[in-house]
Chains A and B, each alone.
Chain A
Amino acid sequence: MTDVFQYTPGDSVLHRMNPVTKIFLTFCICMAAFLTDHLSVLIFLLFLDLMLGVIAGIPRKAFSIFRGLAKISLFLFALQALFVRRGNPVFWIITDEGLRTAGTVVLRLLVVCLPFALILAVTQVSDIANSMVQVLHVPYAYAFTLALTIRFIPLFMEEMSGIMEAQAARGIEFDTKNILKKFGLLLPLCAPLLISSMRQTGATATAARVRGFSLRTADSGYKKYGFGLVDLCAAVLSIALIAGAAWIR
């Protein structure tokens, strides 16, 4: 799972698309998912998400993210189905209304989360940050913080697994299969982990400072982020999605 947030180099249409367009597309997919209550529309959107993965040339990664999310979704589905009391009983305490609501919630979750993970897989964080500053005029400090956060996720995960390894080696049962127990063992480690990552973030901030962080303006970017035909098509598709979802509703 550690490589989920990491960039996969490539030359697909999605790689070449303006980062702002990609964010817009993602945003529109989310909007569409929230506008509609139809299961069929949600399934269509999910299919579209996975197709994006295929177009980006990373179908295997797309499906592995999907599998990861599906596990969480299954758990959520069960909870929802058990707790929704409206509608006609299907069997035991499960109702048809419960199943429908659970299905909608879970599908929505999948539809919304997938494109975000996909965009991160085909866009370098520096491009996201720079294009947001250039095109959307987002203040650089915010864009930079976002870029750094994404950059540090894999480092944080690596540190985490290193700690668990070291703890297992000294006899703490981090190699247990019981997830609850593992979680309990993990809690006391949170403080040192946070302290060390805070210290490291401080070092990175200083490193950015001595390389002229404060001199940066919206025009500083070397790479320019233009819009092309692909971006136009994607934008049209995005708007069509929202319009469609709103209309079918």
Chain B
Amino acid sequence: MIRIQSLTFRYEDSKVDALHDINLTIPDGSFLGIIGPAGAGKTTIAQCISGIIPHAVRGDFYGSVVIDGLDSADTPLTDLSRLVGTVFQDVERQIIFPVVEDELLYGLENFGVPREKIEERMTFALTHTGITSLRHRTISSLSGGQRQKVAIASLIALQPKILILDEPTGELDPGSSRKIFALLQELNRTYGITVVVIEQKIMLLCEFAKRLAVMDQGRIIREGSVREVLGNISRLEEIGVNCPRVARFSSLLGEQIRQEISVCVNVEEAEREARRVMG
């Protein structure tokens, strides 16, 4: 469980708060998507959850972030890392070693996983990310999607309770992006890992996330189930958040026929709604 209370953070040398009075509770087993325009504070909140703020980034930190009962400000970063696995925005720079196997070993070795358990953990991580065949490959020979999976596998091997990812599909094509989200969904469903993902691709969030948080100017302006959040799309479009076209369609259709229409979050729903309207 992640509990963020009255969190305000301002980077050193900055004149404005990157995060302002954030209150957010993320229960165990959640799949939360965070969306918002550039500069809204998405990466900052991710770093607060993983403990990089306040441990590795300077600034003024007020309020608290409590992860599984541990206050992030009083807990060493390495202890937080046992609970929270972080995938950075630039995955290329996150991968430390040139070969997949070494990348997975790194965290396992450091966290003192017993020798007899290491092979088991590696196999688990490789199998569940679907990259068993890549074990001995060099990173430079992998595609962007495969590299993303290596980064995720290296964290899964450490058996974190929470995974936080900062725009994991930024440079991927639609097919590979979906595969990454399907993988996160499986980890969430099967192993109860809490997934928090920052993402611009709203359609992926609609399909895979259970809840959405919308950020703007350092604040969380809306939080709830995907359907609740997309209920008022004009407000979202105003602050510069992309909405699924079918949601826009259902809202426009409602205006056209002067009738309340429940918001559609995918094509199937939109089709059903359209057929219902036409009788």
A residues adjacent to B (C-beta < 8 A)? 6-7, 9, 124-126, 147-148, 151, 154-155, 200, 203-204, 206-216, 220-223
CB <8 Å contact, B86 and A124: no
Given contacts A200-B93, A210-B52, A211-B107, contact A222 B118 (CB under 8 A): yes
CB <8 Å contact, A207 and B97: no
B80 to chain A, nearest CB (A): 8
CB <8 Å contact, A210 and B81: yes
CB <8 Å contact, A151 and B115: no
Which among A6, A203, A214, A223 is the interface contact of B140 at CB below 8 angstroms? A6
B residues adjacent to A (C-beta < 8 A)? 50-52, 56, 77-78, 80-81, 86, 88, 90, 92-99, 102, 105-112, 115, 118, 136, 138, 140, 154, 158
Q: How far is the CA of A154 from the CA of B95 in the complex (A)?
A: 14
CB <8 Å contact, A126 and B99: yes
List, in ascending order, chain A residues with CB within 8 A of B108's CB: 222
CB <8 Å contact, A211 and B154: yes
CB <8 Å contact, B77 and A220: no
Which among A6, A208, A214 is the interface contact of B96 at CB below 8 angstroms? A208
B111 to chain A, nearest CB (A): 5
CB <8 Å contact, A124 and B105: no
CB <8 Å contact, A222 and B52: no
CB <8 Å contact, A7 and B110: no
List, in ascending order, chain A residues with CB within 8 A of B110's CB: 211-213, 215-216, 220
Chain B facing A: main interface SS: helix
B114 to chain A, nearest CB (A): 10
Given contacts A215-B111, A220-B112, contact A203 B94 (CB under 8 A): yes
List, in ascending order, chain A residues with CB within 8 A of B96's CB: 147-148, 151, 204, 207-208
List, in ascending order, chain B residues with CB within 8 A of A154's CB: 140
A201 to chain B, nearest CB (A): 8
List, in ascending order, chain B residues with CB within 8 A of A203's CB: 88, 90, 93-94
CB <8 Å contact, A7 and B99: yes
Query: Which 9 residue pairs of A and B lie closest in terms of their CB atoms, listed nearest first?
Result: A212-B110, A211-B107, A126-B102, A207-B94, A203-B93, A220-B109, A210-B81, A200-B93, A126-B97
Q: How far is the CA of A20 from the CA of B132 in the complex (A)?
A: 30
Q: How far is the CA of A209 from the CA of B158 in the complex (A)?
A: 14
List 19 additional A-B contacts (Cβ < 8 Å) besides A6-B138, A206-B52: A6-B98, A7-B98, A9-B138, A124-B99, A124-B102, A126-B97, A154-B140, A200-B93, A207-B94, A208-B96, A209-B56, A209-B78, A210-B80, A211-B106, A211-B110, A216-B110, A220-B109, A222-B118, A223-B105
Given contacts A210-B77, A212-B81, contact A221 B109 (CB under 8 A): yes
Q: How far is the CA of A72 from the CA of B115 in the complex (A)?
A: 48
CB <8 Å contact, A125 and B105: no
List, in ascending order, chain B residues with CB within 8 A of A125's CB: 97-98
List, in ascending order, chain A residues with CB within 8 A of B94's CB: 203-204, 207
A101 to chain B, nearest CB (A): 40
Residue of A nearest to B80 (CB): A210
Residue of A nearest to B95 (CB): A207
Q: How far is the CA of A2 from the CA of B52 in the complex (A)?
A: 33
CB <8 Å contact, A211 and B158: yes
